[in-house]
Amino acid sequence: MKIILFQPQIPQNTGNIVRTCAVTGCDLILVRPLGFSITDRWLKRAGLDYWEGVSVEVIDDLEQLLLTTSARFYFFSSKAETCYADQSYLPDDYLIFGSETSGLAPLFQEKWPHLFRNIPMQSGARCLNLATSVGIVVYEAWKQQGFKTNFR
């Protein structure tokens, strides 16, 4: 699995997601612009010593990546109709999450509306924390794979 964070803004969230990737065997792709430096001390502190065990790539153009990949991919948004748990995940899927402040660019919803999934919440709730959302979806996908080690 590859976790993709589209323009993440909060270093502590990304650090926590690095930890999730480390313990589940997922790779991480960060899409610029980032709201922090990847040398940021809060980012490193939140990820502790897990950074070295995770493949992290930083890219500029998510749309280009998605147009050229043969992997399946899914977006996660509170605006989606289909529940994340209703999806069957494969080990090489890309799981894409939006920025904490602005979510995903409308372009993705316009181009791939059928690939959007949500995490159910109480009526009137705005959104979950990004690191929490990633954890929920990654563990569902990993569960479906029988918690096999080394997702990569």
Q: What is the 3-state secondary structure (H, E, C) of 69-127?
A: CCCCEEEECCCCCEEHHHCCCCCCCEEEECECCCECCHHHHHHCHHHEEECCCCCCCCC
Q: Encode pLDDT of 46-96 as tens digits.
A: 555 677 789 999 999 999 999 999 999 999 999 899 999 999 999 999 999
In whole angstroms, what is the distance from residue 36 CA to residue 38 CA?
6
Mean pLDDT in residue range 14-43? 88
Task: Enter the pTM of the model.
Answer: 0.93
CATH architecture of 2-144: 3-Layer(aba) Sandwich (3.40)
Q: How many residues does the chain have?
A: 152
Mean pLDDT in residue range 5-18? 93
In whole angstroms, what is the distance from residue 143 CA to residue 31 CA?
27
Question: Which of 36-40, 94-98, 127-131, 137-141 shows the lowest mean pLDDT across its residues?
Answer: 36-40
Band the pLDDT of 148: cuts 50, 70, 90. confident
In whole angstroms, what is the distance from residue 126 CA to residue 77 CA?
11
Band the pLDDT of 43: cuts 50, 70, 90. low
Mean pLDDT in residue range 119-127? 90
Please tell me what DSSP assigns to residue 26.
-
Q: How many CB atoms lie within 10 A of CB 108?
A: 21
In whole angstroms, what is the distance from residue 90 CA to residue 102 CA?
28
Enumerate the domain spans of the chain. Answer: 2-144
Q: What local confidence, expressed as pLDDT, does residue 74 receive?
A: 98
Which amino acid is it at 136? Answer: I
